[in-house]
Amino acid sequence: MDIEKSILEAIRLAETTIPEDVYKHLKMAYSMEENE
């Protein structure tokens, strides 16, 4: 449980530290991969 919690916290921190446009680009690239 604690490991999962720390992973989620790390993801949340990453989302706030990555510039929003870079994050959006990565998210878009990821969703494009999923659709194929």
- pLDDT at residue 2 tops 80: yes
Give the pLDDT of residue 25: 86
Give the pLDDT mean for 28-36.
80
- 3 state SS for 1-36: CHHHHHHHHHHHHHHHHCCHHHHHHHHHHHHHHHHC
Other C-beta atoms within 10 Å of 26: how many? 11
Reply yes or no on whether the pLDDT at 35 is more than 80.
no
The CA-atom distances, in angstroms, between 12 and each of 22, 30, 35 are: 15, 17, 24
pLDDT tens, residue by residue, 14-29:
877 778 888 788 888 8
- In this prediction, residue 36 carries a pLDDT of 65
**pLDDT value, residue 5:** 92
